[in-house]
Amino acid sequence: MRPAHVIGMTVGSLLLAVGPALAVPASQSGAISWTTADAVAAKQVAGSILSTTLGHDGSRSVYDVRIRSGDKIENVKVAAHTALEW
């Protein structure tokens, strides 16, 4: 008798697998990905990206990218539908 193969998955690995898909709500399918927002922000400010969050500024979806640049933390806003700095 052969042993059964068991595939284990934790909630953490499941979230890592679907994380990019969850970054942009389905109702905003025309939005850029968070990795694109990071790339746009990195062109504006040199440093290490600390976090990227999707939010709203009025009626527009905007990514807020926090970047450590030297001794300070810079916030770069990137429009989620145009990939332009906001």
User: Percentages helix, strand, coil for the chain, rounded to the nearest 5?
Assistant: 30, 35, 35
Mean pLDDT of 24-46: 81
Does pLDDT of 46 surpass 60?
yes
Mean pLDDT of 6-27: 46
Domain positions in the chain are 11-79
Mean pLDDT over each residue of the chain, to the nearest integer: 77
Does pLDDT of 1 surpass 70?
no
Does pLDDT of 67 surpass 70?
yes
Provide CB contacts within 8 A for 42, sequence distance 6+.
Answer: 49, 67
Q: Report the CATH architecture of 11-79.
A: Roll (3.10)
Percent of the chain residues past pLDDT 70, beyond the cut:
66
pTM: 0.64
